[in-house]
Structure 1
């Protein structure tokens, strides 16, 4: 019993250390951006400790060396750049520079629409992908669409792309798992819905699943009541010109967005 407790404690400690190491690595990879507030320290040189904000041009002003361009650089690379400047200027021999993130405002991505936690999230590493940011936002809600719309700026031009989220994993379209950049916006729209009423067990509105048929839509509504009949269905479908078409559908017909399925009473 005592051995098991010690083993559990050891495993828990290792997991915590791994988590801390991963977190530290993520901070080291974080690309600094305009608006970020940082603390810069040099080992055994407390007079060189400053707290400053990265300017809109991506630079900071540091004692002895002046302006330093760090916008877009990772924390680790920025530390080395300041250390090299201090050493090459003859101010400190082998300086050990440490940068701590105080407040992250630059390099954020907005996640909007049908996600569990919409909001703005920082790009904590240089290789943050679409799936990572959706996970940060808690993923799509049950009413969220399978399509994510990513907008931003690439090479000075407006960028917009619609991504089929499941296909990234199911169809091995890993190239669609985009690398994100600061200022990007991810939007998840409401999933297409259909409506069922009449002699259905659970009338109401439901999400349309991929390649859904009338039979599957009827099953989603719990099937017909004892008074209803799956052979007596009526489908109201809105046409592009605004007119509503009434159809007596087959069970194998596809269901389209905003279709209204009516389950009639059985004749007998």
Structure 2
């Protein structure tokens, strides 16, 4: 009987401690100048670094400086992932090194932050409670990590601990606890609710379609779908009776399932100061960098800071592509039917100015006579 109560008591502890945690902290921790960061690139230990955040708010990481102050650890992780995109889906983990009697709890918890310990050690469950509890929709409890003060990493299963089945793990001052988010798949194209969906491992393609509300009847191509993989390759899957069964092909985390149109090719238009303006056929939404690559890149006189996306409904989205080169944002997409316009940059016409000055000078001379 007591063993049956263990999961309930564990949940109650987290709920009670969660309310206490929210009284003391209102928002997610943001990196500050003077912080020391431990950066881990899992599977690529040569890229692991412990570095300070300089007074100007930046860190020196491979190939240059990065802004760190003012960002959350997840935002900085995303920027480093962009810088390390030559790896296949790099998994970047950043911990703010605790100071004194602190621990750092981050990831899929409600209030990622530094917390002061009142004892020599605390359980991982209490650490989660101090951070307001975990995010039920995002947290992958089975793969949590404890980063020890000496840099060692231990994988723990919080789900088993909550069920009273696993051996409890403890944190000491200087340690960090990371709760990862579940991985995602993306479903796009002619489906009712295109978007990203969290999954635990591979799922059948039929299940992925169901998560997106199913194909749009009368518009979706129900003979085939396309899987876009993280390495840039793609796989065409024919839809047969087997597709809808439990033996359906699988969609893996990081992949995109695209349902094409039944009647036409999808096109994006790229106009203005690019090498090869025109319409280009695409099978999915594309990033601005992919769009520029399709058009052969921007011309030297192009104003990348004043680019515009003109949507089919007439809406206009202003985009500063020059800033995106410094801080890539892959969430800005060009969708079928959109037009990307790159204007010409401002130039001083010195010939016209000199001619005008000459005319003015001649006029003044004549008037003086």
With the length of structure 1 as denominator, give the TM-score of the two structures. 0.50
Structure with the bigger RCO (C-alpha within 8 Å, sep 6+) is 1
With the length of structure 2 as denominator, give the TM-score of the two structures. 0.37
